[in-house]
Amino acid sequence: MKMNFKALAGLTMIAVTGFILGSCTSNPDSSGLEYMPDMYRSPAIEPYVDYGEVRGKEHMNMKMTLSAMTPPAGAIPYYGTDSATVSLMLPYFRKANIAFRETHGMYGADLTTTDEYTLAASDMNPYKVTAANSEEIFKKGKELYTAMCQHCHGEKGDGNGPMVISGAYAGVPNYMDRAAVSDGQMFYSIYYGKGAMGSHRSQLNKKEIWTLVHYVNRFQDPNYGKFDANGLAMAAPAAADTTAAAKK
Ligand code: HEC
């Protein structure tokens, strides 16, 4: 019995030694046999890798998508090479009027006593609508409008959204009555809010707001942003032209 136990212990020793030695290799760069590789090297999630480019091949559906966390607040996305695209990513240069401090939750915002809303009248929509991009702009505009504005402003832009009809909210104008408001001022109002309308600057980027400005213009002129078979703008130039000066 005693002998058997010794033999068993001996055999176990040999097996264990064999097992340990078995993980050695003669290659000095090799770490040997890894029994549980995940414990040595955790599977890598690489937050800054552009997964759109795999072995020199571009996969557009994977490009520009976040592989990890959302960027810090205030981070400016920056890609593309044409100045129009890039300028839409830069911060809005107008400051919020100081009167908005309490009403629109502008804590931490750069406020000014100058009436920037009035100055915004001359700002032009940098995102021009053309025969080529018109369909895309108004499709995106409808999407955004339905999600963010329709409950107050109504599907037809007449100020009769479900919030207003339910009696929860009042004072939403019919866009037809705001036809004199320039593109720049519409942008300002959507960005910083106006009266009973809150600020949308945290929910929408500049390109989205300018898209909505086009969308609102169509409520005011059904031909706005439409082009005929020859590629000519159907709306009267004054309405189709996105410059504030032309709209006055
Ligand atoms: C909570 C309800 C509400 C929501 C949501 C809302 N609005 Fe308004 N909006 C108003 C009210 C109220 C006014 C009138 C403000 C005033 O002139 O005092 C207004 C005014 C406007 C004006 C006229 C601005 C001006 O300078 O006279 C525009 C343009 C506008 N809204 C667009 C939008 C768009 C686009 C959205 C979606 C991103 C939106 N609104 C979301 C309530 C809302």
- 140-191 confidence digits (pLDDT tens): 999 999 999 999 999 999 999 999 999 998 999 999 999 999 999 999 999 9
Q: Which of 238, 227, 247, 236 is nearest to 138 (CA)?
A: 227
pLDDT given at position 247: 39
Q: Which atom of ligand 1 is nearest to the CA of 186?
A: 29
pLDDT given at position 1: 57
State if pTM tops 0.85. no
CA 199 / ligand 1 centre spacing (Å): 9
CA 32 / ligand 1 centre spacing (Å): 67
**CB neighbour list of residue 49: distance below 8 Å, 6 or more residues apart:** 67
CA 234 / ligand 1 centre spacing (Å): 27
The torsion region of residue 233 among left (phi > 0), alpha (psi -120 to 50) and beta comes to: beta
Mutate to test the pocket of ligand 1, among 97, 144, 148, 197 (most ligand atoms within 8 A of CB): 197
pLDDT given at position 129: 93
Count Cβ atoms below 10 Å from residue 108 Cβ, excluding itself: 6
Reply yes or no on whether the pLDDT at 19 is more than 90.
Answer: no
pLDDT given at position 174: 95
Mean per-residue pLDDT of the chain: 85
CA 194 / ligand 1 centre spacing (Å): 7
Domains of the chain from N-terminus onward? 95-247 (1.10.760.10)
Q: How confident is the model at residue 24 (pLDDT cuts 50, 70, 90)?
A: confident
Q: Which of 41 and 15 is assigned the larger pLDDT? A: 15
Which of the listed ranges 18-22, 32-36, 41-45, 230-234 does the model predict with the highest average pLDDT? Answer: 230-234
Mutate to test the pocket of ligand 1, among 143, 150, 153 (most ligand atoms within 8 A of CB): 153
Residues with CB under 6 A from ligand 1: 148-149, 152-153, 169, 171-173, 178, 181, 185-186, 189-190, 194-197, 200, 212, 216
